[in-house]
């Protein structure tokens, strides 16, 4: 019996050894304070900073309170994997603010090979599910964004018209560093600039955006069953999408 368990135990040990040691929680309380820079995160009354030593502050109080809640939720150690909103804001402040044009271009580039434009050739159940989820988004992109998207079957690349790409560029242009960071996260998680923009504009809820991004995967699971490791990875990605959705929702409300 012990021999049969050995490989599992060894795998678990190897996984633990590969994980970096997490820093200990060094504060008693996380809170928010309004200031000239916006709403700042305080740890035991001291201003928190990003990895690049910038002030960790945002313009929206609800976002700031959600960041503080992530810090409060840490127990003995600080696990960045369980702090998707903090990571998103840190990235916006430390990196995206200085690379806005490049990040915008990356979002637009996703539209050039957008998930919702590439349809399966079969089976019928899958193609029907794709059309039900993606057809309305193609119409929304045309009617609301002015982007007429070309569709393709299988994985053969189809270049989108310049006018469609220009329409996506115009839709992405107004986002500031934090909003753009959230839009970029949503785009990379879903594989679709259109799904991300629909989420940003309130056309899709976060649950609807998640479902639209996982039509193929959900169909496969319905046919062959679920995998626990895959479900765990999905849970992490869903938490990241929810963090991005909060930022986009609050930006829309301002």
Give CA–CA dist 51/93, Å, rounded: 10
- Closest listed residue to residue 206, CA positions, set 241, 234, 180: 241
Q: Give the model's pLDDT for residue 6.
A: 45
Q: Give the model's pLDDT for residue 7.
A: 45
Give CA–CA dist 207/225, Å, rounded: 21
Contacts with 150 (C-beta within 8 Å, 6 or more apart), sequence order: 117, 158, 159, 160, 161, 164
Residue 232: Cβ-neighbour burial (10 angstroms; 0-12, 13-18, 19+): exposed
- Closest listed residue to residue 44, CA positions, set 62, 61, 27: 27
Q: Mind giving me the DSSP string for 74-122? A: --SB--GGG-HHHHHHHHHHHTGGG-HHHHHHHHHHHHTT-GGGEE---
Q: Give the model's pLDDT for residue 11.
A: 52
Tokens describing residue 246: 């909060």
Question: How far does CA 92 lie from the centroid of its chain?
Answer: 13
Q: What are phi and psi of 53, to 5 degrees?
A: 75, 20
Measure the N-to-C terminal CA separation of the chain; round to a whole number of Å: 61
Give CA–CA dist 195/34, Å, rounded: 33
- Closest listed residue to residue 108, CA positions, set 44, 22, 170, 32: 170
pLDDT in tens, the chain (254 residues): 444 444 445 555 555 555 679 999 999 999 999 999 999 999 999 999 999 999 999 999 999 999 999 999 999 999 999 999 999 999 999 999 999 999 999 999 999 999 999 999 999 999 999 999 999 999 999 999 999 999 998 788 999 999 999 999 999 999 999 999 999 999 999 999 999 999 999 999 999 999 999 999 999 998 988 888 889 999 999 999 999 999 999 999 88
Q: Give the model's pLDDT for residue 225.
A: 86
Tokens describing residue 113: 């090979």
Give CA–CA dist 106/123, Å, rounded: 32
Q: Give the model's pLDDT for residue 3.
A: 45
Side-chain-side CA neighbours of 98 within 13 Å: the count stands at 7
Question: How far does CA 170 lie from the centroid of its chain?
Answer: 21
Q: Quote the DSSP letter at residue 49.
A: B
- Three-class SS of residue 70? helix
pTM of the model: 0.91
């Amino acid at each position: 019996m012990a021999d049969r368990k050995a490989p599992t135990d060894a795998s678990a040990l190897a996984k633990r050894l590969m994980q970096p040691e997490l820093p200990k929680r060094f504060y008693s309380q996380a809170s928010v304070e309004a200031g000239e820079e916006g709403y700042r995160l305080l740890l035991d009354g001291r201003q928190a900073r990003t990895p690049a030593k910038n002030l960790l502050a945002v313009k929206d109080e609800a976002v700031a309170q959600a960041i503080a809640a992530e810090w409060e939720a840490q127990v003995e150690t600080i696990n960045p994997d369980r702090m998707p909103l903090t990571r998103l804001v840190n990235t916006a402040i430390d990196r995206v603010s200085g690379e806005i044009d490049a990040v915008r271009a990356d979002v637009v580039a996703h539209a050039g090979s957008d998930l919702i434009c590439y349809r399966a050739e079969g089976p019928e159940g899958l193609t029907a599910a794709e059309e039900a989820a993606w057809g309305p988004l193609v119409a929304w992109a045309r009617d609301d964004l002015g982007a007429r998207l070309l569709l393709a079957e299988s994985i053969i690349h189809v270049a989108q018209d310049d006018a469609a790409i220009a329409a996506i560029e115009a839709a992405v242009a107004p986002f500031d560093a934090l909003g753009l960071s959230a839009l970029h996260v949503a785009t990379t998680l879903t594989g679709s600039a259109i799904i991300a923009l629909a989420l940003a504009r309130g056309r899709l809820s976060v649950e609807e955006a998640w479902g639209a991004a996982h039509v193929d995967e959900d169909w496969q699971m319905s046919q062959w069953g679920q995998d626990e490791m895959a479900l765990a990875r999905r849970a992490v990605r869903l938490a990241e999408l929810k963090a991005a959705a909060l930022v986009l929702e609050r930006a829309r409300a301002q």
